[in-house]
Structure 1
Amino acid sequence: MVQHVFPGRFTAAPDRPDVTVFLIGMRANRWWQLGKVWWTASKMPPMLMHLGAHPEAGMLGVHSWFGRTTILLTYWESPEHLQRFAADRDAPHLQPWRDFMRTLQGTGSVGVWHETYQVPTADMEAVYVDMPAFGLAAATSHVPVGPGMKTARQRMGR
């Protein structure tokens, strides 16, 4: 998929008091155990498709990187939205998580991890130069850097 590159400097302009940043991923500790690695990796696409089809779930945006360690960077409306999705019996997360914990946890084959941050938007800053809409700007609002937003200090203090 070709993404449009926006020439110049842009920033994110969230229209909310805070944003929940959720990093999640997995690591193929024993990459030669492909069945276990593939089983774990195959659980994320249905979750992302579900979240894309259900914006009311609260995920604002996602970016991913794949390799031995996989990373997904996601933005959410609130920690409550994220926790509600994780515990929803009708969403495609809870059962795969329970299956992982029952069958793979402790085997050392595949590691999983996540980190959650609730960040006041007044305390965040972003700049994107000659980039497609990305990160927080793609998840919220992508705007040109204008007067009073030229430096990181100015953008942080808005």
Structure 2
Amino acid sequence: MTELTTHQHDGDLAVFLIGARVNRLWRPDGWLPAFAAMGPMLAELWKDPSSGFLHARTVIDGDLRGVTVIQYWRSAEDIYRYANAEDHSHRPAWLAFYRRAKKVPGAVTIWHETYSVPAGGHESLYGDAPKPIGLARATGSIPARRRGRTARERIRSQVRPEN
């Protein structure tokens, strides 16, 4: 029998996708610093639970020229606070990227997408996962039967704040 689990989180959350794609392989001076900047930022976030950062994983894009980091956060406001904090790694890295992009235009694409997901707007299902993955890795996992058999039941089971 397949063991089915779901993520443990009931409240609001944010999913942040950030990526980079090499456009000009022959210009590592334009793209390598952008790739290198992500590691220190993630290390900083892993060390600071108060930032609102919950978890991240990195995937290599299908064309092998880019990466995407999938991040889970407590809220979109936590993402914005981190991104604009002058005493954290992101803001200086972002400013350096803009300066470099003027010298080597088009060498790299940097992109991000932010999804603010309200309570009751997310559900998950993991079958026979030997360890938590995805949102369950960020928030913990519970047996799926505690929330419902179907995706619709799991969405409905979440606690929604009163309006």
Q: Is TM-score (shorter-chain normalized) higher than 0.5? A: yes
1:65-80 to structure 2, matched below 5 A, reads: 65-66=59-60, 67-80=64-77
Q: Is it true that 1:61 corresponds to 2:55 in the alignment? A: yes
* Structure 1 residues 14-38: Cα deviation after superposition (integer angstroms, max 9, x where no partner): 142x101111101111123223222
State the partner residue of 1:10: 5
Match of residue 27, structure 1, among 4, 21, 31: 21
Contact 1:15–1:140 (Cα < 8 Å) also in 2: no
Letter in 2 for 1:145: A
Number of equivalent positions: 151
* Structure 1 residues 45-74: Cα deviation after superposition (integer angstroms, max 9, x where no partner): 000000011111110111111341211111
- Sequence identity (%): 36
* Structure 1 residues 65-117: Cα deviation after superposition (integer angstroms, max 9, x where no partner): 13412111111111111111101111111011011112215711000000101
Contact 2:27–2:107 (Cα < 8 Å) also in 1: yes
State the partner residue of 1:133: 132
State the partner residue of 1:40: 34
Unaligned runs of 5+ in 2: 158-163
Task: Give the stretch that moved more between structures: 118-127 or 7-16.
Answer: 7-16
Task: Give the stretch that moved more between structures: 118-127 or 46-55.
Answer: 118-127
Match of residue 124, structure 1, among 122, 135, 140: 122
Unaligned runs of 5+ in 1: 1-6
Runs of 4+ residues over 3 Å off in structure 1: none
Letter in 2 for 1:54: D
Q: Larger strand proportion, structure 1 or 2?
A: 1
Distance 2:88 2:8 in 1: 30
Letter in 1 for 2:48: H
State the partner residue of 2:161: none
State the partner residue of 2:113: 115
| TM-aligned CA deviation for residue 148 of structure 1 | 5.1
Per the normalisation by structure 2, the TM-score is: 0.86
Contact 1:23–1:116 (Cα < 8 Å) also in 2: yes
Per the normalisation by structure 1, the TM-score is: 0.88
